[in-house]
Amino acid sequence: MSLRMRMLALIGLFLALLAVAGAAVMIANARDAVRAEMASALDLGIAVGRAEAGRGPSPDAVVALDRLGLRHLRFIAGEAPPDSLGEGDAAHGAVPGWFVALIGVTPQAHALTGADGRVLLTVVAEPQDEVAEVWEDMRDLALAMLVAGLLLLGGAWMAVGRALAPLARIEAAVRRLREGVYEPGPRGGLAGGGVPELVRLGTGIAALAEELAAAGRENRRLGQRLIEAQDRERRDIAREIHDELGAALFAIKVDAGRILRLSEEPKPEATISERVEIAGRARAVLSMAADVHRLSRRILVRLRPALLDQLPLGEALSGLIDEWARREPQVRWSLDVDEDGTPDGIDGLDEVLRLTVFRLAQESLVNALRHARPTNVSVTVRRRTDRVEVLVTDDGPGFGLGFREGPAGAAEQGGLGIAGMAERVRALGGTLRIGSDGGQGTRVAACLPCVPVGLEGVA
């Protein structure tokens, strides 16, 4: 049943209960009024009958009394037979029997006797006329209430329909949101028709649609940046393989071929120069093999840090800082790990969180050295009961005046690695903020929940 029908049914039920209560009160009052009227009429009939009987016996006494036209009274000469008390019912056949039964007032008779004890006259007070009047009044009132109730229901139907009309637009807006269309239309279309609750609901849905549309645009932008980052990473790896690994392998091939040719030449014994050449080319092959090994390790580290597979996270971060300290000795490096008394510390994080923390530190250090040329770089990792915080700061020049603080602003400046970090942190239900620290240097702050979003209740 629709909300409109439920409200109309409630109004109809209220009107019906009101009508039943009113009818019960009217019937109770009518019963008392009819009984009082019958008692009064009977007293009057008895007084008139006694006056007429005091004149002496007369065959026309009943006719004379009936000519007086006294309401609700009937006079019978002598003692009235039991069946004669209901004779007046035929004159009021329009009154339903159930209504007469509800009133519950029956004809009342009183016998007037003479000095010898013989019944001279019987006075009968009949309620049929009074009950008929009450029935007509209640029938007219019921008809008026029925018309008024129908008009009220019609007005309520129109008013409720007008008030609930925005629900159809709100439902359509929610359906569009469910389908991924985040454009609910103008806010006026969800105004709620002046109903405060619907106004708040419509305003909330419109605001939600705007936020979802903004989130969708941000996701598309981040997705595009991630694709660009992946393509750039692949191009860099392909360039390294082509320029370094390919050249090294070609040199190894040339040297190995020359060694093979020298060894296959049919000479009784090699000359000193040939032996020297063979030794030199062999050393070149070994050197190229070492270069290929270092290159392959560098590429593998970019794809997956082997330190995390071999060491705890704390030692892996320390190794990362030590490696950068060897590469850039002129920069002062610092690492601070605050585990706040948690049982397992940062080493107890799951694999996804450990890799994310390591990647955040790694990418932030690369960006600091690539763009900032700092003299001091610090990495702080704080482990709390429900979250882990990563903070990387440097004392470089920071961002320009037009920089918009946050991951989106940094990504728009061209930091594709930052876009990847932002998307990874968001996927884990965390937050990432990037900006200048007091107008100087760069500050990368990430907060990650220790339990991924949506899995809090999973044991």
Instruction: Provide the residue-wise pLDDT of the chain in tens; the chain has 459 residues.
Output: 777 788 888 888 988 898 889 888 888 888 888 888 888 888 888 888 777 766 655 556 677 776 777 777 777 776 766 665 554 444 455 778 888 888 877 788 888 777 777 777 777 888 888 888 888 888 888 899 889 888 988 888 888 777 777 777 777 777 877 777 776 555 555 555 566 777 777 777 777 888 888 887 777 777 777 677 777 777 777 777 766 776 777 777 777 777 776 666 655 555 667 667 777 777 777 777 777 777 776 676 666 666 666 678 888 888 889 888 888 889 999 999 887 767 677 888 888 888 888 889 988 888 888 877 888 999 999 988 888 999 999 988 776 544 444 444 444 444 446 777 887 888 888 899 988 766 678 889 999 988 654 444 433
* pLDDT score at 237: 72
* pLDDT score at 90: 40
State which amino acid sits at residue 174: V
Which tokens in the block code for residue 253?
A: 């091939």
Q: Please report how the helices 128-178 and 3-54 are oriented relative to each other, as an axis angle in degrees rounded to 10.
A: 170
Please, what is the end-to-end C-alpha distance for the chain in angstroms? 41
* pLDDT score at 306: 61
Please spell the DSSP secondary structure of 235-300, one letter per residue: HHHHHHIIIIIHHHHHHHHHHHHHHHHHHHS--SS--HHHHHHHHHHHHHHHHHHHHHHHHHHHHH
Which tokens in the block code for residue 131?
A: 């009950």
Burial (CB < 10 A; 0-12, 13-18, 19+), residue 170, is buried
Pick the CATH number of 311-459 from 3.30.450.20, 3.40.630.30, 3.30.565.10, 3.30.70.2740: 3.30.565.10
Residue boundaries of the structural domains of the chain? 3-160, 213-303, 311-459
Instruction: Give the global pTM.
Output: 0.46
